């Protein structure tokens, strides 16, 4: 089985998504079917082929370092659910011992 | 005939000759949207903004000698394209209350042309889906038959154009999301070459595959929209310079001497017989006008679906990491620490399909699987691209069905994600190779639902694709839905 409950728990943790215990089995079953299908690719003998990450021959694209929009704090913070005094508010980041 | 049934070209002529006013036109469309609320094409209708924009367009029409043909034309935009001060949701609980502080470059361009935004269009959440059923706003219904899906993920865009709820619409196409709904709804949908149209302001799904494109009533309109949206944008580092052209020029539908390749892998057992017959009929009409048809092969196409879903989900798992509940987007307000804030906000803010794809992508990129899954998929991508390149040495255009079937019933594939993915069998390879492709309506199946033919070209061959599409349209004609009583 490519994706069992233990694997789903691990990748959900990596992806920072909480999954309820009673949903784990359904996710495992669906992802197992999907991954088994994807694994067809494992059997292809294409070792020497160069992987293609992107279709364009990408180079760094530079522009002048010029400020175009400024003092947008109030406008940007409007989309935050919890803000205080012009700051984004978050729960404690460092755990107290 | 209702004014809303007319093409952009026809409507523009009426506006310029003062046979109709821009405000009156916009109000007609708004009325049509209300009457067809059961299609569920729109997630946000901007009545006041639309009327204001129409008033401004009318001023331009009255004062300027030369205005864009899009001036005063009502449009709809898929809800993953940012529109300043207008809610942009991606049909997700995650962005249900998100109002962008900036607009996508293409929306700015269209606004400058004088086009009028009617509202934002329904879609599969974060553009992940093939039926516009994975949306918090409820499924979109196919305007040809309400029991069927409109396709996806740009199902709102395609159904709005088919049902005359917008003169044209913008969609986005990561693995077929413009072409497949265009095919299911009987309208024209173009996925431009990767880099030809700016993606600045398009909410990212899979950045190496995503592309914005037009959905229109006919080929000429499609060319006209391309004239307005194609071109380099300094704000999008993947946008390319020097390839945009005048897509309306020489759009005469001449196809003599044209070499068309028909890849046998697209005419396989997955293809519905009825759809195949409609496609062959369209091909014959091209042949009768001097094109030559030859069978060819793109053998690695069979690996395109697994490669596509691995690559797109991997990119999505990374792109969607930005939704942490803090600066924008849904936030669980009871989380006691930062880790729970992430985990709970993402659990509650994303729908099941989005979570499945993030999990799949995380799996494919995780230690131990990256080489055998993600990297292998990138190698398949390389091979598919090479096979297309070789085919284009012999053929000018590759023609194929857009989808193996006509629209399927609502709910039919909802609980079987793999079955849903396999619906994209004929569209995903084009995105992997970054090519342009257009879906052109070419007839109806016995069930009365539209069939689209897909024309695939070399990079930046949009003009040629539009021209071949024009020939098909001349031979077969537009597919039009009977209007409801009273319209």
Are A8 and B101 in contact (CB < 8 Å)?
A: no
Q: Is B153 a catalytic residue?
A: yes
Q: What is the pLDDT of residue B367?
A: 87
Q: Give DSSP secondary structure letters for B98-127.
A: ---SS--HHHHHHHHHT-EEEEEE--SGGG
- Across B272-277, average pLDDT: 96
Domain count within chain A = 1
In this complex, which of B328, B340, B375 lies closest to A80 when CB atoms are compared?
A: B328
Residues of the domain holding A11: 5-43
pLDDT computed for residue B357 by the predictor: 97
Q: How confident is the model at residue B486 (pLDDT cuts 50, 70, 90)?
A: very low
Alpha-carbon Rg for chain B, nearest whole angstrom, is 21
> What's the pLDDT tens digit per position in B278-334?
999 999 999 999 999 999 999 999 999 999 999 999 999 999 999 999 999 999 999
Question: Among A32, A38, A68, which would you mutate to test the B interface (most chain B Cβ atoms within 10 Å of its Cβ)?
Answer: A38
Element (H, E) at B188: strand B188-191
The CA distance from B179 to B333, in Å, is 40
Please judge whether B331 and A81 are an interchain contact, meaning their C-beta atoms are less than 8 angstroms apart: yes
CB B378 to CB A61 under 8 A? no
CA atoms of B404 and B248, how far apart (whole Å)? 31
**Residue among A91, A92, A95, A96 with most chain B CBs within 10 A, to mutate:** A91
Binned at pLDDT 50, 70 and 90, residue B1 comes out as: low
On whether residue A26 sits in a domain, the answer given is yes
Looking at the partner chain, which of A7, A46, A56 has a beta carbon nearest the beta carbon of B194?
Answer: A56
- At residue B62, the 3 state secondary structure works out as helix
CB–CB contact A38 B337 (8 Å): no
CA distance A66 to A78: 25
- Average pLDDT over chain B reads 96
**Pairing relationship of beta strands B116-121 and B74-78 according to DSSP bridges:** parallel
At the topology level, CATH places domain B3-256+458-476 in Amidase signature (AS) enzymes (3.90.1300)
Strand order in the sheet with B437-444: B42-45, B116-121, B74-78, B168-172, B212-216, B188-191, B437-444, B450-457, B397-401, B259-263, B292-296
Q: CB-CB: which of A11, A16, A35 is closest to B343?
A: A16
Interface predicted TM-score (ipTM): 0.94
The more confidently predicted of residues B486 and B483 is B483
Residues within 8 A of A (CB atoms), B 256-295 only: none
Report the pLDDT value the prediction gives residue A93, as an integer from 0 to 100.
83
Chain A residues touching residue B360 (CB < 8 angstroms): 31, 34-35, 38
- Say what the pLDDT of residue B485 is: 43
Residue A14 covered by a domain:
yes
Give the tens place of pLDDT for each residue, B371-403. 889 999 999 999 999 999 999 999 999 999 999
- B78 assigned to active site: yes
Q: What is the DSSP letter of B350?
A: S
Q: Do B237 and A92 touch (CB under 8 A)?
A: no
Structure confidence at residue A95 as a pLDDT band (50, 70, 90): low
**Within 10 A of B96 (CB to CB), how many other CB atoms are there?**
16
Instruction: With respect to residue A66, please indicate whether it lies within any of the assigned structural domains.
Output: no
* Residue B484: predicted pLDDT: 52
**Angle at the Cα of A94 (from A88 to A97), degrees rounded to 5?**
145
Contacts of A31 in chain B (CB under 8 A): 356, 359-360, 363
Q: How many CB pairs under 8 A join A and B?
A: 157
Q: Is residue A60 part of a domain?
A: no
CA distance A34 to chain B (A): 6
Cβ-defined contact of A3 to B363 (cutoff 8 Å): yes
Residues B68, B103, B154, B177: which is the catalytic one?
B177
Residues of A in contact with B380 (CB under 8 A): 41, 44, 46
Number of other residues whose CB lies within 10 A of the CB of residue B152: 34
The pLDDT value recorded for residue B390 is: 98
Across the interface, of B310, B346, B355, the residue whose CB is closest to A38 is B310
Residue of B nearest to A73 (CA): B101
Residue A68 pLDDT > 90, yes or no? Answer: no
pLDDT band, very low/low/confident/very high, at A23 (cuts 50, 70, 90): very high
Nearest CA in chain A to B312: A53
Within a domain: A96: no
- From B6, B78, B120, B470, active-site residue: B78
B29-42 confidence digits (pLDDT tens): 999 999 999 999 99
Out of B153, B239, B314, B461, pick the active-site residue. Answer: B153
| Residue B460, min C-alpha distance to chain A (Å) | 13
User: What are the pLDDT digits (tens) for B193-236?
Assistant: 999 999 999 999 999 999 999 999 999 999 999 999 999 999 99
**B295 DSSP β-pair partners:** B262
CA B16 – CA B8 distance, rounded (Å): 12
Tell me: the pLDDT tens digits for B430-484?
Answer: 999 999 999 999 999 999 999 999 999 999 999 999 999 999 999 999 999 875 5
- What average pLDDT does range B226-250 have in this prediction? 95
Cross-chain Cβ contact A81/B238 below 8 Å? no
Question: Which residue has 């109002």 as its token pair?
Answer: B99
pLDDT at site A47: 84
List pLDDT tens digits, range B44-74. Answer: 999 999 999 999 999 999 999 899 999 999 9
Q: CB distance B376–A46 less than 8 Å?
A: yes
pLDDT in tens, B325-370: 999 999 999 999 999 999 999 999 999 999 999 999 999 999 888 8
Domain boundaries, chain B: 3-256+458-476
Is residue A74 one of the residues assigned to a domain? Answer: no
């Amino acid at each position: 089985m490519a994706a069992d409950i233990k694997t789903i728990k691990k990748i959900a943790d990596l992806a920072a998504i909480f999954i309820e215990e009673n949903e784990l089995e359904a996710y495992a079953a669906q992802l197992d079917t999907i991954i088994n299908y994807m694994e067809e690719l494992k059997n292809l003998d294409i070792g020497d082929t160069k992987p293609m990450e992107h279709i364009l021959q990408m180079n760094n694209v530079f522009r002048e370092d010029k400020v175009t929009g400024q003092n947008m704090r109030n406008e940007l913070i409007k989309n935050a659910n919890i803000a205080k005094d012009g700051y984004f508010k978050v729960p404690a980041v460092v755990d107290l011992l | 005939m209702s004014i809303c049934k007319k093409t952009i070209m026809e409507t523009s002529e009426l506006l310029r000759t003062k046979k109709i006013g821009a405000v009156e036109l916009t109000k007609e469309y708004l009325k049509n949207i209300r009457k067809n609320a059961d299609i569920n094409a729109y997630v946000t209708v901007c009545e006041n903004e639309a009327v204001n924009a129409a008033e401004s367009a009318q001023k331009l029409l009255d004062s300027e000698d030369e205005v864009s043909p899009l001036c005063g034309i009502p449009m709809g935009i898929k809800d993953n394209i940012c529109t300043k001060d207008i809610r942009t949701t991606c049909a997700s609980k995650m962005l249900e209350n998100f109002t962008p502080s900036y607009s996508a470059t293409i929306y700015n361009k269209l606004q400058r042309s004088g086009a009028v935004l009617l509202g934002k269009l329904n879609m599969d959440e974060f553009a992940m889906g093939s039926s516009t059923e994975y949306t918090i706003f409820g499924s979109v219904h196919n305007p040809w038959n309400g029991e069927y899906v409109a396709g996806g993920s740009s199902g709102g865009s395609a159904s709005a154009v088919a049902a005359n709820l917008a003169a044209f619409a913008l969609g986005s196409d990561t693995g077929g999301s413009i072409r497949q709904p265009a095919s299911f709804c009987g309208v024209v949908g173009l996925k431009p070459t990767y880099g030809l149209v700016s993606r600045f302001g398009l909410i990212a799904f899979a950045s190496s595959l995503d592309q914005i494109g037009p959905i229109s009533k006919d080929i000429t309109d499609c060319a006209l929209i391309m004239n307005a949206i194609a071109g380099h944008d300094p704000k999008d580092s993947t946008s390319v310079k020097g390839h945009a052209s005048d897509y309306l020029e020489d759009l005469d539908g001449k196809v003599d001497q044209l070499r068309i390749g028909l890849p046998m892998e697209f005419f396989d057992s997955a293809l519905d017989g009825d759809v195949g017959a409609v496609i062959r009929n369209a091909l014959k009409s091209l042949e009768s006008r001097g094109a030559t048809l030859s069978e060819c092969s793109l053998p690695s196409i069979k690996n395109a679906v697994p490669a596509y879903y691995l690559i797109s989900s991997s990119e999505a798992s990374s792109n969607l990491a930005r939704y942490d509940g803090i600066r924008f987007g849904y936030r669980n307000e009871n989380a006691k620490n930062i880790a729970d804030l992430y985990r709970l906000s993402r659990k509650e803010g994303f729908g099941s399909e989005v979570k499945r794809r993030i999990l799949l992508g995380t799996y494919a990129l995780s230690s131990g699987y990256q080489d055998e899954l993600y990297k292998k998929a990138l190698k398949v991508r390389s091979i598919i691209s090479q096979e297309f390149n070789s085919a284009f040495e012999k053929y000018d255009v590759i023609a194929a069905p857009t989808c193996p079937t006509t629209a399927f019933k609502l709910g039919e594939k909802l609980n079987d994600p793999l079955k849903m993915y396999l619906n994209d069998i004929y569209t995903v390879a084009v995105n992997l190779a970054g090519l342009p492709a257009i879906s052109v309506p070419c007839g109806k199946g016995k069930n009365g639902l539209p069939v689209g033919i897909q024309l695939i070209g070399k990079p930046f061959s949009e003009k040629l694709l539009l021209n071949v599409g024009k020939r098909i349209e001349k031979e077969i004609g537009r597919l039009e839905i009977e209007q409801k009583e009273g319209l």
